[in-house]
Chains A and B, each alone.
Chain A
């Protein structure tokens, strides 16, 4: 079995995808909301990594720009949720 360099990029992207599934498990299990926010932020970072890897696989420069835009927007989203959680003190149990 011989590996092309594009195959190696795809292997890396597939490993990042497995990481997304594991983070979804944490988003499912996580007992409190901060756990879920951290899981969402991990998924954000992994998806940006997948977008960059797939942009290298397709050999298109435009696809890298989408990764940059997504990185900025996901940061804003996480900031909003984190501010809401930090300002509102409330007891919570389970999903």
Chain B
């Protein structure tokens, strides 16, 4: 296998692993602020995945919505309610 292709696949695999791990954390956390932080990390890595798949316009839309808007709106919503999720 070519070294360049191997490295490219390795980067791709690392990003996909990070997406799965952070999505698992979103479900696992009971502290809502921690879950929001994990969601921000997940959308960040999804944006990087679009970037690797060479779709720069989709990546820029995902960056604007996922990182900027969603986290701010969720933080405002948590400010109005309780912080911890009940079991």
Interface size class of B (residues with CB under 8 A): 35 or more
Q: A50-B48, A80-B71, A95-B30 are in contact. Are A21 and B8 (CB under 8 A)?
A: no
CA distance A18 to B10 in the complex (A): 10
CA distance A69 to B45 in the complex (A): 15
Chain A: residues with Cβ within 8 Å of the partner, total of: 47
Taking CB atoms, residues of chain B closer than 8 Å to A63 are 51, 56
Q: Residue A24 contacts which of B21, B34, B78 (CB distance < 8 angstroms)?
A: B21
Interface majority SS on A: helix, strand, loop or mixed? Answer: helix
Q: Residue A66 contacts which of B40, B56, B79 (CB distance < 8 angstroms)?
A: B56
Taking CB atoms, residues of chain B closer than 8 Å to A33 are 31, 33-34, 37
Let me know if A77 and B67 touch, CB within 8 A.
yes
CA distance A34 to B85 in the complex (A): 19
Q: A10-B11, A47-B48 are in contact. Are A73 and B67 (CB under 8 A)?
A: yes
Let me know if B83 and A14 touch, CB within 8 A.
no
Given known contacts A24-B21, A43-B45, what 4 new A-B pairs fall within 8 Å (CB)?
A7-B3, A58-B54, A70-B47, A76-B68
Contact sample, A vs B, 13 pairs, CB 8 Å cutoff: A4-B4, A10-B11, A14-B11, A17-B11, A21-B17, A24-B18, A33-B37, A37-B37, A43-B44, A54-B11, A66-B59, A73-B67, A92-B31
